[in-house]
Structure 1
């Protein structure tokens, strides 16, 4: 049974959501999105880079699997499954996958550029 638009804002199933291939061993899928908040899963192959960038959104990220070198501003740390980080609005940040892994990111407000 297909969920309604309102239901999709409240619930998501693990096998739902279309993956977008970002190249260079990266892909993402929007899990849930409202105007105020967005939940996105990113998958990385070993050695893949999430290039340094910034955006006006506040981002909170959870390392679901794998390990990553995470750089936020001038600070870098290696984080593994179960760890998390927050990126304040406008701060340059990026990641390098030290092994295959997945990040689950939340953004507030939502990232309109991720929606088709």
Structure 2
């Protein structure tokens, strides 16, 4: 099982990666959507899980998800994280484009996040 964690905050990427490793995932990391998209194109990594922040420099998580969908890059489950309430409206249209996209506010416990990852 491969997961990709995309967030411009290195500490959060590290924490999420360690959590996923304990759940049996092989984890790749990227600091923004553009790097993540390049990684996926170059290595053709089949992904079971993508966890991405919405707000990032270069390419945000919303644009990353739109690019994955438009380029038919298969991802089994996508979780979009955001700590900013104003992004909820922007994310709503993405939820309709992929059957397995979830939006989660960053103020979440580890146990709650694991429920979303494993369901």
What interval of TM-score do these two structures reach, taking the shorter chain for normalisation? under 0.3
Greater helix content: 2
What TM-score comes out, normalization by structure 2 length? 0.28
Q: Looking at both structures, which has the greater relative contact order when contacts are Cα pairs under 8 Å and sequence separation is at least 6?
A: 1
Structure richer in strand, relative to its length = 1
TM-score normalised by structure 1 residue count = 0.28
